[in-house]
Amino acid sequence: MYTILNNSPAAGHIQWADVNIQYNGVSYAIADGYTNYTYVYWLASNPGSFVVSDTFPVLTPADVLVFLNKNGIAMVVPTATIIDGGLIVPGSIYAAAIAANTITGN
């Protein structure tokens, strides 16, 4: 079982330990780490560690967005039941797919 800590080792950071990614029948141990970046993701081409960035990553079908850091609070993306706005792929929602008067500033 993995561990994820919020606001650790400092405010605005998330920290992970003992993470394993299962892909195509192989288990990959991920290096323990921490970040204050927004996106934490795994690339099949670099399976032993996570990659972090503040810009939404370009992922292949073999890659996965793992954590979203919301000001030091981690959201585990693969098991999330609520879609955070930061997880919406830029350019993926078109006006024709949105009903009139359904989006508000609330």
* pLDDT tens figures, 30-56: 999 999 999 999 999 999 999 999 998
Supply the pLDDT for residue 83: 67
Name the 3-class secondary structure at 70. Answer: strand
Is the pTM higher than 0.75? The answer reads: yes
Domain ranges of the chain: 3-97
Would the pLDDT of 26 be above 80? yes
Other C-beta atoms within 10 Å of 16: how many? Answer: 22
| pLDDT reported for residue 87 | 62
Interacting residues of 96 by C-beta distance below 8 A, sequence separation 6+? none
Which amino acid would we find at residue 47? Answer: P
Q: Residue 89 gets which letter from DSSP? A: P
Q: What is the DSSP string of 4-60?
A: EEET-SSTT-EEEES-EEEETTEEEEPPPEEESSSEEEE-TTSTTSEEEESSPPP--
Predicted confidence (pLDDT) per residue in 50-103, tens digit: 999 999 899 999 999 999 999 999 999 887 666 666 666 666 666 666 666 666
| C-alpha to C-alpha distance for 46 and 21, rounded to whole angstroms | 12
Whether 21 shows a pLDDT value over 90: the answer reads yes
